[in-house]
Chains A and B, each alone.
Chain A
Amino acid sequence: MSDLSYNAVMGRRNEIMKKAVKIDYSKFQTSKIAFDYDKMMRETGYSLQEVQEIQRSVGVGNTPLIELKNLTNLARKLAPKGKGARIFIKDESCNPSGSFKDRRAAISVYHAKKLGYKGVVAATSGNYGAAVASQAAMRNLNCIIVQECYDSRKVGQPEILEKQRKCECYGAEVVQLTVGPELFYTFLRILEETGYFNASLYSPYGIAGVETLGYEVAIQCREQIGCDPDVVVVTHAGGGNVTGTARGLIKAGALNTKIVGASVDLTGLHMASDKDFNRKSFTTGHTGFGIPFATWPDRSDVPRSAARPLRYLDKYVTIKQGEVFYITEALAQLEGLERGPAGNTSLTAAFYLAQQMDEDKVIVVQETEYTGAGKHHMAQLSFAKENGIDVRFGNPEEERAGVNIILPEHPSLIRAREVELGKLKKSYIKNCIENYKAETVDMTDVEFLAEDTKQDKQEVINILTELGVKIFD
Chain B
Amino acid sequence: MEFVKKGTYVQIHQIVLQSDERAANLPEDTKKVPLEMWVKGYLNHDAKLGEEVEITTLTSRVVRGKLVEVNPSYKHDFGKFVPELLKIGHDLRLILKDGE
Q: A273-B29, A379-B77 are in contact. Are A329 and B85 (CB under 8 A)?
A: yes
Is A411 positioned at the interface, with any CB of B under 8 Å from its CB? yes
* A407-B26 CB under 8 A given contacts A152-B36, A382-B78: no
Kindly state whether residue B82 has any CB partner on chain A within 8 Å. yes
Chain A CB within 8 A of B58 CB: yes
B79 near A382 (CB under 8 angstroms)?
yes
List, in ascending order, chain B residues with CB within 8 A of A172's CB: 58
User: Is B8 among interface residues, defined by CB-CB distance under 8 A?
Assistant: no
Check if B26 sits within 8 Å of A383, measured CB to CB.
Answer: no
Task: Tell me whether A273 and B27 are in contact in the complex, defined as CB-CB below 8 angstroms, given that A373-B76, A379-B76 are known contacts.
Answer: yes
Encoded as 1 (CB less than 8 Å from any A CB) or 0, chain B from 2 to 22 comes to 000000000000001100011
Q: How far is the CA of A392 from the CA of B26 in the complex (A)?
A: 32
The answer to whether B40 and A173 have CB atoms under 8 Å apart is yes
Is A469 at the interface (CB under 8 A from chain B)? no
Is A144 on the interface with B (CB-CB < 8 A)?
A: yes
Q: Is A48 in the interface zone, CB < 8 Å from B?
A: no
How far, in angstroms, from A154 to B32 measured CA to CA in the complex? 15
CB 8 Å contact bits of B25-46 with A (1 = contact, 0 = none): 0110110111111111100000
Distance in Å: Cβ of A82 to nearest Cβ of chain B: 16
**B23 to A182, Cβ gap below 8 A?**
yes
Residue A193 contacts which of B61, B79, B96, B99 (CB distance < 8 angstroms)?
Answer: B61
Q: What CA separation (Å) do A385 and B83 show in the bound complex? A: 13
Interface-centre pick from A150, A274, A386 (highest chain B CB count, 10 A): A274
Q: Is the CB of B59 within 8 A of A326?
A: no
Report if A156-B30 is in contact (Cβ < 8 Å); known contacts: A70-B96, A176-B38, A180-B23: no
Are the C-beta atoms of A333 and B78 separated by less than 8 Å?
no
Residue of B with least CB distance to A371: B78
> Which residue of A168, A179, A194, A385 is within 8 Å of B80 (Cβ)?
A385
Of A158-166, A255-263, A431-439, the segment with at least 4 beta carbons within 8 Å of chain B is A158-166
Say whether, besides A77-B100, A194-B59, A273-B29, A391 and B84 are in contact (CB < 8 Å): yes
**Contact between chains at A411 and B40 (CB < 8 Å):** no
Residue of A nearest to B90 (CB): A333
When distances are taken between beta carbons in the complex, the residues of chain A under 8 Å from B41 are 173
Q: Do B39 and A162 touch (CB < 8 A)?
A: no
- The 8 A CB mask of B50-71 against A (1 = contact, 0 = none) is 0000000111010000000000
What's the nearest-Cβ distance from chain A to residue B26, in Å?
A: 6
B82 to chain A, nearest CB (A): 5
Contact across chains for B33 and A178 when beta carbons are under 8 A apart: yes
**B85→A377 contact, CB < 8 A:** yes
Kindly state the separation between the CA atoms of A178 and B15 in the bound complex, as whole angstroms: 10
**Size range of the chain B interface in the assembly:** 35 or more
Q: Does A330 contact B (CB under 8 A)?
A: yes
Contact, CB under 8 Å: A74 / B96 = yes
- Whether A378 lies near B85 (C-beta < 8 A) is yes
B71 to chain A, nearest CB (A): 13
> Are B23 and A379 closer than 8 Å at their CB atoms?
no
B82 and A180 form a contact (CB under 8 A) = no
Contact A378 B33 (CB under 8 A): no
A467 within 8 Å of B (CB atoms)? no
Within 8 A of B (CB), among A405-462: 407, 410-411
Asked if B88 and A407 sit within 8 Å, CB to CB, the answer is yes
Residues on A with C-beta less than 8 A from B76 are: 156, 158, 161-162, 165, 373-374, 379
A356 interface residue (CB < 8 Å to B): no
Q: Which A residue's beta carbon lies closest to that of B84?
A: A407
- Chain B residue numbers with a CB within 8 Å of A274 are 27, 29-30, 32-33
Interface 1/0 per residue, A258-281 and B, CB below 8 Å: 000000000000101111100000
A73 CB to nearest B CB, Å: 6
Residues of A within 8 A of B40 (CB): 168, 173-174
**Among candidates A74, A182, A382, residue contacting B16 with C-beta atoms closer than 8 Å:** A182
CB of A96 within 8 Å of the partner chain:
no
- Interface flags for A135-172 (1: CB within 8 Å of B; 0: not) read 00000001110000110101010100110110010011
Interface pair A180/B26, CB less than 8 Å apart = yes
| Complex partner residue of B96 from A73, A383, A410, CB under 8 angstroms | A73
**Which single member of B26, B37, B57, B82 contacts A378 (CB below 8 Å)?**
B82
B81's partner among A144, A150, A193, A378 (CB-CB below 8 A) is A378
A376 in the interface, Cβ–Cβ < 8 Å?
A: yes
A21 to B27, CA, bound (A): 31
Q: How far is the CA of A330 from the CA of B27 in the complex (A)?
A: 37
How many angstroms between the C-alpha atoms of A182 and B15 in the bound complex? Answer: 12
Task: Knowing that A178-B35, A373-B77 touch, tell me 11 more A-B residue pairs with CB under 8 angstroms.
Answer: A142-B59, A150-B36, A174-B40, A177-B37, A180-B26, A273-B29, A333-B88, A373-B76, A374-B76, A376-B78, A382-B80
What are 20 sample pairs from A and B whose C-beta atoms fall under 8 A apart?
A73-B96, A168-B40, A175-B38, A176-B39, A178-B35, A181-B26, A186-B37, A190-B61, A274-B30, A275-B29, A329-B85, A333-B89, A333-B93, A373-B74, A379-B76, A379-B79, A380-B79, A381-B79, A382-B78, A407-B88
Give 4 closest A-B pairs by Cβ, nearest first: A382-B79, A333-B89, A374-B76, A152-B33
